[in-house]
Structure 1
Amino acid sequence: MADLTPTPDNPGLHVSKHSVYAPANGSYACRCGETQQAKGDESVRDLVTGWTDHRAACTGRKGQ
């Protein structure tokens, strides 16, 4: 399986939770260069909200 970690060249959101008892992990990367990571269920929920908000407000790629 390919690495699912998002990068500015391969942007997106990745969330994982290996079991009900394990904390969630998440990361996102945007084409503009912004990246974020979070660990823990509540922090990952905030990360998803942040990704959604960023995508709505993002003006484009870094350096353009």
Structure 2
Amino acid sequence: GFGGGGATVFDVALMRETVGPDMGIKASGGVRTAADAKDMIAAGATRIGASAGVAIVSEAEGAGGGTGY
């Protein structure tokens, strides 16, 4: 969108509630850590858009969270 600031967990949860389980949701902007990505997925995101993707995956693998995504 054009709002700036990136996705929030609230935004993603609201979209998931609105569109239901059959539509994909991409959380983009503001996702900088593995914890951020996990929070977005828990809120209903099916895709993550992040310029820090390599760092996020490296962090998740280092924390023992390298499986399941």
Instruction: State TM-score, norm by structure 2.
Output: 0.24
Q: Which has the higher helix share?
A: 2
- Asked which structure has the greater RCO (Cα within 8 Å, sep 6+), the reply is 2
Q: Which has the higher strand share?
A: 1
